[in-house]
Amino acid sequence: MKYLKTDAAPAAAGPYSQGICAGRTIYVSGQLPLKDGVLAPNITEATNASLNHVVSIAKAGGGKKEDIVKCLVFITDMNDFQEMNAAYAHFFGEHKPARSCIQVAGLPKGAVLEIEAIAVLNRLCPSPTSY
């Protein structure tokens, strides 16, 4: 198992890691749409910011966008679903990971969404390290 950490995504704000690589699988913790500590102002920008963080963490484990097999989107207002879905579809293009989208009552820092992901590598994770 390897703990993943990158400066290209917000630091973990609690007793968890940005991600874990175990075997051939990368588990990315939920990513808020933060840029320089500021929340993205709308659902499209929030979707892109969170997905960019997810990919940055996957890259820290030796993965890439096309290795993502599952995303879980937490959204605070299902009225934003179509706009989020359009941004998500544009971000991934022809690659279509499995996905769930769940409306929640609230998210940390008042974010409009949070996205977590699972990626599968075609090789074992890099050697274990800690931070």
- How do residues 46-99 score in pLDDT, each as one tens digit? 999 999 999 999 999 999 999 999 999 999 999 999 999 999 999 999 999 999
Neighbours of 40 (CB within 10 A): 19
* Owner of token pair 């290795």: 67
125 found inside a domain: no
What distances in angstroms separate CA 63 from CA 4, 54, 84, 87, 116, one per listed residue? 11, 11, 24, 22, 15
Position 17 in a domain: yes
pTM: 0.95
Domain carrying residue 56:
2-120
Tens of pLDDT, residue by residue over 19-45, are: 999 999 999 999 999 988 899 989 999
**Residues acting as catalytic residues:** 101
CATH label of the domain that carries residue 33: 3.30.1330.40
